[in-house]
Chain A
Amino acid sequence: MHIIRISAVWCSSCIVTYQDFLKFKEFYPEFTYEELDYDRDAIEKYKVGSILPLLLFLKEGREVYRLEGEYTKKEMEDIIHEKMGM
Chain B
Amino acid sequence: MRKWVCSFLLFFLFISDIEAKQKLYVFHRYDCSHCKEELSYLESIKDTYPDVEFIYYEVLKNPTNLKYLEHVKKTLNDENNYVPYTVIGEYSLVGFNENTKLSIQNYITYCIQNDCEDIVAEVIQKKGAISLEELKKTPKIESVKHEKEFALPFFGKVKARELSLPILSIVLGFIDGFNPCAMWVLFFLISMLLGMKNRGKMWILGISFLLSSAIIYALFLVAWLKVTLPLRDILLLRTLIAFVALGTGCFHLRRYRKMHHRKVGCTVTNRKRRNKIMNLIQKFTKEQNLILSLIGVISLAISVNFIELACSAGLPLVYTQILSLNDLSFFAYFWNILLYIIFYLIDDFFVFCIAMFTLKLTGITNRYSKYSHLIGGILLLGIGLLLLFKPELLLFTM
Interface size class of B (residues with CB under 8 A): 20 to 34
Chain A residues 30-68 with CB under 8 Å of chain B are 38-39, 48-53, 68
Look across to chain B and name the residue whose beta carbon is closest to the beta carbon of A50.
B268
Q: Are B361 and A50 in contact (CB under 8 A)?
A: no
Look across to chain A and name the residue whose beta carbon is closest to the beta carbon of B278.
A39
Cα-based distance from A16 to B187 in the complex (angstroms): 12
Q: Are B183 and A12 in contact (CB under 8 A)?
A: yes
Contact with A along B166-191 (1 / 0, CB 8 A): 00000000000000100111011001
> Across the interface, which residues of B come within 8 angstroms of A9, CB to CB?
187-188, 191
Q: Are A51 and B188 in contact (CB under 8 A)?
A: no
- In the complex, whether A22 has a CB less than 8 A from a CB of chain B is no
Chain B residues 257-284 with CB under 8 Å of chain A are 262-269, 271, 274-275, 278
Cα-based distance from A9 to B194 in the complex (angstroms): 12
Cα-based distance from A8 to B277 in the complex (angstroms): 14
> Across the interface, which residues of A come within 8 angstroms of B50, CB to CB?
none
Q: Are B184 and A70 in contact (CB under 8 A)?
A: no
- In the complex, whether A28 has a CB less than 8 A from a CB of chain B is no
Instruction: From known contacts A15-B363, A39-B274, A70-B367, infer whether A51 and B185 are also in contact, taking CB-CB under 8 Å.
Output: no
Look across to chain A and name the residue whose beta carbon is closest to the beta carbon of B186.
A10
Q: Interface on chain A toward B: helix, strand, loop, or mixed SS?
A: loop
- In the complex, whether A11 has a CB less than 8 A from a CB of chain B is yes
Q: Are B265 and A10 in contact (CB under 8 A)?
A: no
Look across to chain A and name the residue whose beta carbon is closest to the beta carbon of B183.
A12
> Across the interface, which residues of B come within 8 angstroms of A10, CB to CB?
184-185, 187-188, 191, 266, 274, 278
Chain B residues 119-168 with CB under 8 Å of chain A are none
Cα-based distance from A49 to B187 in the complex (angstroms): 21
> Across the interface, which residues of A come within 8 angstroms of B362, CB to CB?
15-16
Q: Are A13 and B265 in contact (CB under 8 A)?
A: yes
Q: Are A12 and B268 in contact (CB under 8 A)?
A: no
Q: Are B265 and A70 in contact (CB under 8 A)?
A: yes
Q: Are B187 and A15 in contact (CB under 8 A)?
A: yes
> Across the interface, which residues of B come within 8 angstroms of A50, CB to CB?
267-269
- In the complex, whether B364 has a CB less than 8 A from a CB of chain A is yes
> Across the interface, which residues of A come within 8 angstroms of B180, CB to CB?
12
Cα-based distance from A14 to B52 in the complex (angstroms): 74
Q: Are B184 and A13 in contact (CB under 8 A)?
A: no
Q: Are A51 and B267 in contact (CB under 8 A)?
A: yes
Cα-based distance from A70 to B366 in the complex (angstroms): 8
Instruction: From known contacts A39-B275, A70-B366, infer whether A13 and B264 are also in contact, taking CB-CB under 8 Å.
Output: yes
Cα-based distance from A49 to B364 in the complex (angstroms): 21
- Contact sample, A vs B, 28 pairs, CB 8 Å cutoff: A8-B266, A9-B188, A9-B191, A10-B188, A10-B278, A12-B183, A12-B366, A13-B266, A13-B366, A15-B187, A15-B361, A15-B362, A16-B366, A48-B268, A50-B267, A50-B268, A51-B262, A51-B263, A51-B265, A51-B268, A52-B265, A53-B265, A68-B263, A69-B262, A69-B263, A69-B265, A69-B366, A70-B265
Interface residues of A (CB under 8 A from B): 8-17, 38-39, 48-53, 68-70
